[in-house]
Amino acid sequence: MAAPSLWLTTLGCAKNQVDSEKVTAMLSEAGYVWADSPETADVVMTNTCAFIEEARAESVETILDLEDRKRDGAHSIVIGCMAQRFGTEVSDALPEVDAVLGLDRYGDLVSTLDNLTRWHPVEMKRRPAMDILHATGRPATGLPYGYLKVAEGCNKPCTFCAIPLIRGKQRSRRPTEIREEARSMVDAGVGEVVLVAQDLAAYGRDIDAPGGLPDLLTFLDDVEELARLRLLYLHPREINDRLLETMVSSKLVADYFDLSLQHASQPLLRAMKRPGDGVRHLALVDKIRDLSPDAALRSSFIVGFPGETDSQVDELADFLEQARLDWAGFFPYSAEPGTPAAEMDGQVPREEVMTRLRHLSAVQEEITMEKNAGLIGASDTVLIDQVEDGTPVGRSHRQAPEIDGVVRIDAGSPGDWVAVQYTGAYGLDMEAVRA
């Protein structure tokens, strides 16, 4: 019997992306092959997201879409955060799905597939699945950037967030393991490694790595041929002078600060169990810009948290106008079962939440476009990620993959680091020529 073929659709955040890459490596090593499309696969799999209501709706939509598209006799498996959090509900609601495996059951994926496909390659000497999942080897993805998850889970008490209920308490990986994985990514053609975790700046607190993230950054300094490190999700409570100075003085770390400020109103931030307020957020922004005038700043914000008033929305809009961040992401508040905020009074009607979100997104988009226009004529260094419709497309230190704008260049190939001069700004994207 030929090796069965698989298809995997990945939803959600960069951490889920890393999980999918590790699952892909594990199943490939177990002998499975990958189909070109869901229609031709023997098994279709969905790596789901359960962060907020919208994400769950998209997960169900994707599962049902793959059910429609899979060929007769093919099987389906659901993995990821929704399988972890709502496994029983998914099985009950979607009986057509053959297996639902949460995050802590990935070690059973190979045997589950073997049983579903009745393929038992006894002649193959397979490594234990968990060894492969925890291995530091990373297959090439064809992209010159990749995500490296340095920890799993989170210990923070944010009242709106279900992630600790899904991913559990923080478990940091050992620095040596992380460096080994960074090396294997560089060997696989990655030039930019993006460090991710639910609470990146709290890295190491749960293991004997007292130096935390700053020490880890210094430890990764000697990964040969690694050209750029980028950090995503810095909780403001964890941002201190040592971290900022380490980031700014490092030759590897991109001058890119992804702050998860969430709001500017003090009473709302307190109800979220989040630190700071508009004044202190501005002070942090100013401190970063004093340390690194060419730094790019991003933040995520929750809109429509219970009790949010029009004047607090205005307060956030004013903060955006003053902070002039390069990028911002706005998430509609979603009452997550099991979170304290879901029980709070003053739940804001959905329509109103989306109206506020559109307003704040428009305020930020204006700022981003003005800042992009201000770059015309400036020089920069860009990593080319891919070629789109014949045009090389890449990113400077100012743009994180997949969430910010891009730079379109007149020449170059994926993986090239090119010196450029900006010639134009189009919406959230830039245009440049090789210098």
Residues that bind ligand SF4 (CB under 6 A): 154, 156, 158, 161, 163-164, 198-199, 235
Cβ neighbours around 258 below 10 Å, total: 22
CB of 332 to ligand SF4, least distance (A): 15
> Which tokens belong to 430?
């830039």
**C-alpha span between 405 and 391 (Å, rounded):** 15
Smallest distance from ligand SF4 to CB 198, Å = 4
Six-digit token string for 216:
């880890």
Please state the length of the chain. Answer: 435
∠ CA 298-300-306 to the nearest 5 degrees? 155
Angle between helices 212-220 and 241-249 (to 10 degrees): 10
The rounded distance, in Å, linking the Cα atoms of 160 and 355 is 20
CA dist 90 and 19 (Å) reads 20
DSSP codes, 322-383 = HH--SEEEEEE----TTSGGGG-S-PPPHHHHHHHHHHHHHHHHHHHHHHHHTTTT-EEEEE
CB 113 within 8 A of CB 4: yes
CB of 214 to ligand SF4, least distance (A): 19
Tell me the closest approach of the beta carbon of residue 141 to ligand SF4, in angstroms: 25
Please, what is the minimum distance in Å from the beta carbon of residue 235 to ligand SF4? 5
Sequence-separated (6 or more) residues with CB below 8 Å from residue 346:
306, 307, 308
Name the residue nearer to ligand SF4 (CB basis): 113 or 163. 163
Q: Of the two residues 154 and 182, which places its CB atom closer to ligand SF4 in the complex?
A: 154
The rounded distance, in Å, linking the Cα atoms of 110 and 198 is 27
3-class SS of residue 283: helix
Q: How far is the CB of 82 from ligand SF4 (least distance, A)?
A: 16
Smaller CB separation from ligand SF4, 62 or 198: 198
Smaller CB separation from ligand SF4, 154 or 220: 154
Q: How far is the CB of 277 from ligand SF4 (least distance, A)?
A: 17
Picking from 180, 197, 283, 200, the residue whose alpha carbon sits closest to that of residue 241 is 283
Between 161 and 231, CB nearer to ligand SF4: 161
The DSSP result for 262-290, as a single string, is E-S-HHHHHHTT----HHHHHHHHHHHHH
Q: Which is nearer to ligand SF4, 154 or 393 (CB)?
A: 154
Which lies closer to ligand SF4 via its Cβ, residue 45 or residue 166? 166
Among residues 4 and 236, whose Cβ is nearest to ligand SF4? 236
Shortest Å distance, C-beta 19 to ligand SF4: 16
